[in-house]
A and B are shown apart, each in its own frame.
Chain A
């Protein structure tokens, strides 16, 4: 029985401080079970020992082999070469280092920034004193474990951070991986530093832009954005909300209030409630200048509440 093989051209984005950045092509024949880490290992051992990349466990546990494959942030070990060929219908495949992180050599990037962010959220359990002294024990209910399980699966691969658009702009944002890890301890009933965790996580949670890059690329299906949403949902327990948190809550409550009472987002009302009269009037000038006064008027006059609004209210209250 013959095994199906593929002749593949790998275009690899290489870099060294001496040569700078350049593309290099390698030809390799692979079978349909070949992972990218295996393809890279064969290129390195059979063709070019100078090619640098990180890989260790080859089973999506160690988080070392994050890279961009045909532009997609992926774990090389969890991605089959044949899968990418079938998805894109081409035997020419590009491999690049992850975005955002500084490149050290070829596909190897500098993790410093990533670890700094992770350590900021104190990524470990702070148990009660009596437990530390061996005088008691913590118990975790199965339902709590089920709730936390997803967010405890992070392997620190950095793929979510490499694509996050806010992390590049906002130094106050902790980033998706740190939020997933932070939420996992924030709501762990065994943890004892909840107030401090709220202080660390709450403001940053309201700095996320819900772009869903992190959800899309996570090789462990952790959904960091969901952890951020769940952290926001706990804002009522935050003792000293920052401006960003305060404004975010105001906006979120204005939206929920509008839907609850009319079944829809009455934009003008939500705008006014979120920004206040002064900012709304300023924006009105920009809106009029763009020739959008008509849209504004129609949004105020034409949109009608849901007829069966009592059903909407029941859904909120039930």
Chain B
């Protein structure tokens, strides 16, 4: 299976380990990820507040590139990139005023969007196009005994009317994938709430508090580690883990890793091949997984 790939800025930056793990999982499952030529940033969840029309135009530029590749969708590992592109397409198709202003803006550029290409999350591709049975068949290192909190966050789910893959208030895609690895999924009340990343610019103390709420909820429900679906959630849970610990005087740790890092681990890759954090490695050793 060949599919266009949109990594996004964070996946090529601070969250590079997500890029690495995504490519390993794709390779194992026989998916050829073809990076979109000369892709640009989706706006990172902020550009639409700064310039709504340019935001739509920039997202259409990426989708127009996908159409030039003669493909009808791209897969991204980042929920914010997913959300940004799907919202931009929705605005372009549904809002006449925006469409007219965008059309004027993209006149004379390389952007020719026919409305066919769409954005999908890599998790959706795994579940819909690959299937759980095939994923299970590739598990070489069952993660038996590991309790994994399934954190969805916001942008892969909501608004449900535009994201549409699963019920926003009763999601199960991560539980399905975690179960496929042999680990035990842990659901918790906060699993569909925000990690706080979008507040890290304007109100960072509150942003960290929201991240703490997620980790605390998962920990209280007995999780050993947490999986998520987003390159920006990754920045909250992984590099800033120690800041959260210090800020909220937390004794325990709860490593947050990307869902495809967990799959790659179950497929037999070594922790250093998929960029697992020190904290995650420590937990996996304690649980006798590695």
Q: Give the B-binding residues of A (Cβ under 8 A).
A: 70-73, 87-88, 165-166, 169-170, 206-213, 215-216, 229-230, 232-233, 244-245, 247-248, 250-253, 255-256, 258-259, 263-268, 274, 283, 286-287, 289-292, 294-296, 298-299, 302-303, 306-308, 311-312, 314-316, 318
Q: Is B14's CB under 8 angstroms from A170's CB?
A: no
With A252-B46, A290-B242 in contact, do A315 and B105 touch (Cβ < 8 Å)? Answer: yes
Chain B residues within 8 Å of A299, by CB = 12-14, 16
> Of the candidates A229, A248, A258, which one forms a contact with B201 in the assembled complex, judged by CB atoms under 8 Å apart?
A248
CA distance A274 to B201 in the complex (A): 7
CA distance A287 to B279 in the complex (A): 12
Smallest Cβ distance from B279 to chain A, in angstroms? 7
Chain B residues within 8 Å of A210, by CB = 45, 154, 194, 198
CA distance A258 to B241 in the complex (A): 26
Q: Is A303's CB under 8 angstroms from B203's CB?
A: no
Chain A residues within 8 Å of B193, by CB = 165, 211
Contact with A along B103-137 (1 / 0, CB 8 A): 01110011000000000000000000000000000
> Of the candidates B49, B155, B167, B200, which one forms a contact with A232 in the assembled complex, judged by CB atoms under 8 Å apart?
B49
Chain A residues within 8 Å of B17, by CB = 295
With A290-B239, A295-B16, A296-B14 in contact, do A169 and B206 touch (Cβ < 8 Å)? Answer: yes
> Of the candidates A71, A166, A259, A296, which one forms a contact with B43 in the assembled complex, judged by CB atoms under 8 Å apart?
A259
Smallest Cβ distance from B66 to chain A, in angstroms? 16
Q: Is A291's CB under 8 angstroms from B277's CB?
A: yes
Chain A residues within 8 Å of B104, by CB = 318
- Chain A's closest residue to B155 (CB) is A212
Q: Is B203's CB under 8 angstroms from A206's CB?
A: yes
> Of the candidates A165, A206, A232, A274, which one forms a contact with B194 in the assembled complex, judged by CB atoms under 8 Å apart?
A165
CA distance A211 to B232 in the complex (A): 13
Contact with A along B143-165 (1 / 0, CB 8 A): 00000000000110111110000
Q: Verify if B252 is at the interface (C-beta below 8 Å from A).
A: no
Q: Verify if B15 is at the interface (C-beta below 8 Å from A).
A: yes
Smallest Cβ distance from B97 to chain A, in angstroms? 8
Which positions 177-228 of chain B face chain A at CB distance < 8 Å? 193-194, 196, 198-204, 206-207, 209-210, 213
- Chain B's closest residue to A274 (CB) is B201
Chain B residues within 8 Å of A292, by CB = 14, 238-239, 277
Smallest Cβ distance from B171 to chain A, in angstroms? 10
> Of the candidates B15, B46, B83, B206, which one forms a contact with A295 in the assembled complex, judged by CB atoms under 8 Å apart?
B15
With A248-B203, A259-B58 in contact, do A267 and B105 touch (Cβ < 8 Å)? Answer: no
Q: Give the A-binding residues of B (Cβ under 8 A).
A: 9-10, 12-17, 38-41, 43-52, 54, 57-58, 61, 83, 104-106, 109-110, 154-155, 157-161, 167-170, 193-194, 196, 198-204, 206-207, 209-210, 213, 238-243, 246, 275, 277-279
Q: Is A216's CB under 8 angstroms from B159's CB?
A: yes
CA distance A159 to B225 in the complex (A): 32
Smallest Cβ distance from A304 to chain B, in angstroms? 9
20 further A-B pairs in the complex, CB-CB below 8 A; given A165-B193, A247-B202, A259-B43: A73-B169, A170-B206, A206-B202, A207-B199, A209-B194, A229-B52, A253-B50, A259-B40, A259-B44, A264-B40, A265-B10, A267-B10, A274-B201, A287-B239, A290-B241, A291-B277, A291-B279, A306-B39, A306-B40, A314-B109
Q: Is A70's CB under 8 angstroms from B169's CB?
A: yes
- Chain B's closest residue to A143 (CB) is B97
> Of the candidates B50, B169, B278, which one forms a contact with A252 in the assembled complex, judged by CB atoms under 8 Å apart?
B50
CA distance A24 to B51 in the complex (A): 51
Smallest Cβ distance from A223 to chain B, in angstroms? 8
Q: Is B38's CB under 8 angstroms from A286's CB?
A: no
Chain B residues within 8 Å of A73, by CB = 169
Smallest Cβ distance from A146 to chain B, in angstroms? 8
Smallest Cβ distance from A311 to chain B, in angstroms? 5
Q: Is A312's CB under 8 angstroms from B202's CB?
A: no
CA distance A286 to B43 in the complex (A): 26
Q: Is B203's CB under 8 angstroms from A229's CB?
A: no
Q: Is A290's CB under 8 angstroms from B199's CB?
A: no
